[in-house]
Amino acid sequence: MSNGDGSAVRSYHDRTKHSPASVRASRHALDWANQPLAFKIYETLEPIALPRELPPIDVPALEVIARVESSTANECVPDLPTLTQLLYYSAGITRRITHPGGEIYYRAAACTGALYHIDLYLVCGDLPALAAGVYHFGPQDRALRRLRPGDHRRTLIEATGDEAATAAAPVILVCASTYWRNAWKYQARAYRHCFWDAGTLLANLLAVAAARTVPARVVAGFVDRAVERLLDLDPGREAAIALVPLGHTRDRPGPAPDAPPLGLQTVPLSAHEVDYPAICAAHLASSLETPEQVRAWHGQTPRPVAPAPTGPLTPLTPLLGATAPRDAIDRVILRRGSTREFGRVPIGLAAFATTLERATRGVPADFLDPPGASLNDLYLIVNAVDGLRAGAYVFHRERAALELLQE
């Protein structure tokens, strides 16, 4: 089965999404004694330590969360400190909290259930201070481990149907999920979580790449099995979710070396794992099998024309330039955390407008063409924003305005 009309995945979504009835009927209880490890730890590979001290990134978060296109005028080959910043501010451990049952290692990007099932791999040619190879990033000791020597980028380039940014990248990052680390809590729904949880991580990665002026783009179209074979992922338990070509070079890699199965030993995640067949079925039903299929999958993003507003419009004027907050992206990532306690003061309209404008400029991705295209419409329930009546709104991005739907 392969990526077709989408009906298999729509049916997966319908069967696994929550409803008041499904939440009431669920008998699933968390088996704390069997909670999976939040790390993939290769037992037999030597760690290659990454720099512990990272130079500050003195670029405002509000500037870099909105980059849609990268300049490829110049050669850009990321060095090891830059790669470490990209890995650490996306998937690194940023906080440790001790509680009676143990310790939680919080990461740079939010993840459902704090279960952190997305791992990062690098596939690169020879770089300053890093030999060509396929590497896994271990957040637990902030180290790389080399799975394969040699330059395997050509395998990924072919898997993407010769996608232009991938073909020119000195380094290609791959996000992959080990389902059980999330399915322990979310059961068959974990396949959907792969994309949310890779998404938070990719948002950080793209912002830090923009701050370091490293070209970067999310590539979601690839021959799934080819990528998974290269990373030696276990097809029943793991999947590659997205690639991110990083940097730009005129040099093109030669043919890739052989990549036989590795069967590398990793630390068991828990006493036993529960298989949810719907996850694998959804992955297979949405996989691409040949570079030709990938090329056919690329195309113009559908751009449904938003209905003209009929309700009252509030124009939004974001804070930009000198008036905008200048908090640096690395500080913002380290400061970020989820909370269930909120300040009991309204949000100013300008701050609210800035949030919406910056967050909806677009994402550099192979499935969003032309740059700036979006697949989302934003609906908002507003309780306390100065200058806005409480109510339900829809955001008209092209008009920079909010339409009141219901007070």
User: Please, what is the minimum distance in Å from the beta carbon of residue 189 to ligand FMN?
Assistant: 11
Burial class (CB in 10 A: 0-12, 13-18, 19+), 18: exposed
What's the rounded Cα separation, in Å, for the pair 83 and 137? 11
Nearest residue (CB) to ligand FMN, 182 versus 286? 182
Strand partners, 238: 178
State yes or no: residue 204 binds ligand FMN (CB under 6 A): no
Nearest residue (CB) to ligand FMN, 27 versus 96? 96
Question: 186-216 b/e with 16+ CB inside 10 Å = b?
Answer: bebbbbbbbeebbbbbbbbbbbbbbbbebbb
User: Please, what is the minimum distance in Å from the beta carbon of residue 113 to ligand FMN?
Assistant: 6
Nearest residue (CB) to ligand FMN, 76 versus 333? 333
User: Please, what is the minimum distance in Å from the beta carbon of residue 17 to ligand FMN?
Assistant: 13
**Which residues 325-344 are close enough to bind ligand FMN by CB under 6 A?**
337-338
Cβ–Cβ < 8 Å for 259, 86: no
User: Please, what is the minimum distance in Å from the beta carbon of residue 112 to ligand FMN?
Assistant: 5
Question: 68-90 b/e with 16+ CB inside 10 Å = b?
Answer: bebeeeeebbbeebbbbbbbbbb
Cβ–Cβ < 8 Å for 240, 160: no
What's the rounded Cα separation, in Å, for the pair 137 and 135? 7
State yes or no: residue 105 binds ligand FMN (CB under 6 A): no
Q: Which residues contact 242 (CB under 8 A, 6 or more apart)?
A: 174, 175, 198, 202, 218, 219, 220
State yes or no: residue 323 binds ligand FMN (CB under 6 A): no
Strand partners, 240: 176
State yes or no: residue 112 binds ligand FMN (CB under 6 A): yes
Residues 60-99 as x/- pattern, contact with ligand FMN by CB under 6 A: ----------------------------------------
Exactly one of 41, 54, 80, 114 binds ligand FMN (CB under 6 A); that residue is 114
User: Please, what is the minimum distance in Å from the beta carbon of residue 194 to ligand FMN?
Assistant: 11
Nearest residue (CB) to ligand FMN, 235 versus 337? 337
State yes or no: residue 155 binds ligand FMN (CB under 6 A): no
Cβ–Cβ < 8 Å for 45, 264: yes
Q: How many residues contact ligand FMN, by CB under 6 A?
A: 11
Exactly one of 42, 105, 106, 297 binds ligand FMN (CB under 6 A); that residue is 106
Name the site residues for ligand FMN (rule: CB under 6 A).
106, 110-114, 196-197, 200, 337-338
